[in-house]
Amino acid sequence: MKLYIVAGERSGDLHGGNLVKALKNINSDIKLRGFGGDEMQKAGVDIFVHYERLAFMGFISLLTKTFTIFKYIALCKNDIVEFKPDAVILIDYGGFNTRIAKFARPKGIKVFYYIPPKVWAWYQDRAIGLKKCVDRMFVILPFEKRFYKEKVNWEVDYVGNPVLDAIKSFKADPEFLNKNGVDKSRKIVALLPGSRKMELKLIVPLMAEVAKRNPEIQFVVAAVNNLGKDLYQDLEDKANVKFVYEASYDLLSVADAAIVTSGTATLETGIFKVPQVVVYKMGSMEFTVVRSLVKVKFISLINLIANKEVIKELIQNEAFPERVSQELELLLAKGNYRSTMVEEYHNIFRALDTGSASENTANLMLKYLQG
């Protein structure tokens, strides 16, 4: 059996790697090739193009990189034709992968989409297009199954959430605090500014000002190695700020509270039961466009899953140092505000906990192929 797998971002590579391990545990003879990264390669995928060459974000970036994007789409299509897979597995990365789906299915290649684009958030009519070009959809949020059924009468598979898998398998480093010079006697606030350049350019200055206003608090930045250190510059000269690299789970396992850029990190922070505030900024032009398109009340996965405000979301003009500091004070204080948030986290965990998403997805994919 031959499978072609496409993941265009760091998170997709991580989830793709776990999925490949699960597939190979069932059938060790599967041959895999595709677009991805180090995690997928370690799991046994022959990587044709590394995701780092596809790292584009935002409307403006996409406009300026259009030629490059379409070049890689063409390369991907040609490689699929040469590889002749039994199925194409697409992971997230909606704009790119939707085009691959439209190409592959008419050629008689089964198309499986794991972690599909968030069409429920905006341009909901894209669900119609996905139904036309995808054989089976594997969703990771409980409300997505209901959305596709109500919107386009499409039965999709809810497989659980891979973030939960990753956290369940995580083993905290008992020497994490000592290794990084973090004082366990002081309050620890995790700063998770994201993993994309445009996010850091807008969020890091905000986080730096919050740290400056709260010298008694110990802030620890969850930094990533594949971004230039200059992006963290505003935080580097703060006496109460420390950095840890590629260790966000270790940090969340000891944090008293967190300031988080919207994204998967909000869900990870919630699963670790860390009280948090979400901050998000984008360019004014992009914000104007996005605000007119968004069809959901919240931007954080925690609030979307709960279908109510569990954590405060401070977006664009509301994301200013004084307001974030006020929220941080509430999160760190003992009382109902903090304890209620943690209790809601427990409810969300129970809703997501349906076994291993990777194993569930692998079993279903192979069942559909054999069927």
Q: In this structure, are 227 and 337 located in the same domain?
A: yes
What is each CA distance from 211 to 151, 191, 274, 313, 353, in whole angstroms?
Answer: 44, 10, 18, 19, 35
* In a domain? residue 167: no
- Is the residue at 206 inside a domain? yes
Same domain membership, residue 185 and residue 144: no
Using the 8-state DSSP alphabet, how is residue 237 labeled? Answer: T
Residue 26 domain boundaries? 2-160+354-370
Single out the residue of 159, 96, 90, 151 nearest to residue 119, CA to CA.
151
Instruction: Check if the beta carbon of residue 189 is closer than 8 Å to that of residue 217.
Output: yes
Q: How far apart are CA 331 and CA 338, in angstroms?
A: 5
Long-range contacts of 165-169 (CB under 8 A, 24+ apart): 165/18, 165/356, 165/357, 165/358, 166/14, 166/18, 166/249, 167/249, 167/268, 167/271, 167/272
* Residues 274 and 309 reside in one and the same domain: yes
pLDDT at residue 302 in the model: 96
Residue 369 phi/psi, 5-degree rounding, is -70, -40
Token pair of 337, please? 């505000």
pLDDT band of 60, cuts 50, 70, 90: very low
Q: How confident is the model at residue 59 (pLDDT cuts 50, 70, 90)?
A: very low
> Do both 294 and 148 map to the same domain?
no
Residue 159 has pLDDT above 90, yes or no: yes
What are the pLDDT digits (tens) for 85-104? Answer: 999 999 999 889 999 999 99
Residue bearing the bigger pLDDT, 120 or 258: 258
Residue 92 lies in a domain: yes
- What pLDDT is stored for residue 290 in this prediction? 66
Residues 345 and 285 in one domain: yes
Domain-located, residue 166: no
Let me know whether 187 and 294 are in one domain: yes
Q: What confidence tier does 64 reach under pLDDT thresholds 50, 70, 90?
A: low
The per-residue pLDDT for range 40-52, each reduced to its tens digit, is 999 999 999 999 8
Residue 168 inside a domain? The answer is no
How many structural domains does the chain have? 2
**Per-residue model confidence (pLDDT) at position 223:** 94
pLDDT class of 228 with cuts at 50, 70, 90: confident
- Do 120 and 198 belong together in one domain? no
Residue 96, token pair as written in the block: 């790119």
Contact 269, 291 (CB under 8 A): no
pLDDT of residue 11: 85
Q: What is the mean pLDDT of the chain?
A: 92
Any domain includes 321: yes
What's the pLDDT score for residue 36?
Answer: 96
**Could you report the per-residue pLDDT of 262-299, keeping only the tens digit for each?**
788 999 999 999 999 999 988 777 766 666 666 678 98
Predicted confidence band at 238 (pLDDT cuts at 50, 70, 90)?
Answer: very high
Angle of helix 10-26 versus helix 357-370 axis, rounded to 10: 60
The DSSP-derived string for 274-316 is --EEEEE---HHHHHHHHHH--SS-SSHHHHHHTS-SSEEEEG
Query: 78 and 154: one domain?
Result: yes
What are residue 47's DSSP bridge partners? 34
Asked, for residue 165, whether it belongs to a domain, the answer is no
Residues 363 and 324 placed together within one structural domain of the fold? no
Q: Give the pLDDT of residue 28.
A: 95
180 in Cβ contact with 249 (< 8 Å): no
- The DSSP secondary-structure symbol of 195 reads S
Question: Would you state the pLDDT for residue 282?
Answer: 80
pLDDT > 90 in the chain, percent = 76
Return the percentage of the chain with pLDDT > 70, whole number.
94
Cα separations in angstroms, 350 against 45, 92, 137, 345, 354 = 33, 24, 23, 9, 8
| Residue 39 pLDDT grade (very low, low, confident, very high; cuts 50, 70, 90) | very high
Instruction: Kindly report the CATH number assigned to the domain that includes residue 227.
Output: 3.40.50.2000
* Burial annotation 184-202 (CB, 10 A radius, 16+ → b, else e): eeeebbbbbbbbbebbbeb
Q: Is 171 within a domain?
A: no
Question: Is the same domain home to 80 and 223?
Answer: no
Residue 245 and residue 340 share a domain = yes
Clarify whether residues 116 and 232 are in a common domain. Answer: no
Helix (H, G, I), strand (E, B), or coil: what is residue 242?
A: strand
